[in-house]
Amino acid sequence: MSLTVKNISVTYNPINQSNTFTSGDFISGQVILDVANNTQMQSLSVKIKGKAEEKYYSVERFFVREDKNNGNEMLKDPSGQPYSSVVATERHVYPFTFQLPQQHFPPTFKCSVGKVVYTLETKLSRSMRVSSKDKAEFHYVPRPDESNPELMAPQYGTKDKQMKLFNPGSVSMNINTEKMGYHLGEGLKILAEVQNNSSRAIKPKYCLYEKYSFFAKGKRKLHTHDLLKEEGEPIEPNSKKTVTKVLSIPPSLTISILNCRVLKVEYRLRVYLDVPYASDPEIKFPVVILPAQTVSGATNSDFGIWNQPPESNMYPNPPPMAPLAPPHNVVGPPGQFGAPGYYGPSLSQFPAPGYPGPPGQFTSPSYTGPPGQFGPSVSHQSDPSAPPLYQEYQLYPQLPDHPEKS
């Protein structure tokens, strides 16, 4: 950074104690610029962006720009006047407000081989100078969604095994769970009916494990890890018993990510019988971990400025700017990367109102509300002839065979 520009930073104002944002929330903040001498700016902008390897959305707005007729309207100061391209020696504060789209995007997530990040970025450009930049990450969690009937439907499984040699006879089990989707901290209830016709006692056992899948250059990397392992009471030979087990979903888990092309976070429940001198019969169920039922405070239930018809004036009285807050460059609880994550419905279920193109695309509306608050938004896909950025994903798509951890 040059001696003229002492500091440039972008900060945002938290809206709840967990410092998370969800679909439809307003995120307000400020770009702070400290200069040592009078400075001529070519442009000063702020951008909100969400991406993994692919970009989910990107919206940039300008406080100052030489070409004022290209792209978005210029943001104005609180009095409705344009910002000057020349700044004097002092601190300058440029407030802004974005609204997150109502679409369900993958949540904030980080691990050693993949990540999903959401950022606010500012950039100052000057003639014959290297651009000055700053970036702040914020923690995004989509809203919980229980409208998918598959998530709330019971699951059933049956397994029989005939044994020989040291433990003759047979065993069988009927397993069912109440549903597939569970919120963080919720109990996963398992009902097992076990028939032991063998000569030895057997134990039902339960394991909840996670699967991380990463897709790049036509290849897939898989990581599995056991999260919970518990066992039930022994079932004696030549007896039948019905047992109930409740596993508590840890509140610190990454929630399921099933709507991202480059990575997936999935969970499985494995129920098996520990049979002496024989391989263990097992049944596996998919488990979808949903966000906690209450995620964020300040939200808006309407479709936001990202996807309003061009004539829309949805926000004649936008929310007031919150007080200045210190920079937030690290988000989420310490040591809990990606907690929580989310499975959401396909983006094709969220068409943009008034938009004649394919469902799920963003419009680029003109904004007619009060100056200095909300400029029009610009989608990163502006070519209507280009293929859609999003595609509908099956809940559990067919993947290539892989050595899955049992």
Residue 283 has pLDDT above 80, yes or no: yes
Closest CA to 50 of 23, 73, 71: 23
- DSSP structural state of residue 152: H
Q: What is the distance between the alpha carbons of residues 61 and 263, in angstroms, rounded to a whole number?
A: 30
- Among the listed ranges 89-93, 251-255, 304-308, which one has the minimum average pLDDT value? 304-308
Q: What is the pLDDT of residue 351?
A: 34
Query: pLDDT digit string (tens) for 145-190?
Result: 767 888 999 999 999 988 877 778 899 999 999 999 999 989 999 9
Give DSSP secondary structure letters for 48-102: EEEESSSEEEEEEEEEEES-TTSSSPPPB-TTSPBPPSEE-SSEEEEEEEEE--S
Give the DSSP H/E element, type plus range, for residue 150: helix 149-152
Entry pTM? 0.66
Q: What is the pLDDT of residue 275?
A: 85
Size of the chain in residues:
406
Tokens coding 114: 């993949």
Q: Which residue has the higher pLDDT, 8 or 18?
A: 8
CB 205 within 8 A of CB 273: yes
b/e burial code for range 306-317 (CB count within 10 A of at least 16 → b): bbbeeebebbee
> Average pLDDT in the 136-148 region?
86
What is the CATH code for 149-290? 2.60.40.640
Say yes or no: do domains 5-140 and 149-290 share a fold.
yes
Residue 367 has pLDDT above 50, yes or no: no
All structural domains of the chain with their residue ranges: 5-140, 149-290
What is the CATH code for 5-140? 2.60.40.640
CB 98 within 8 A of CB 50: no
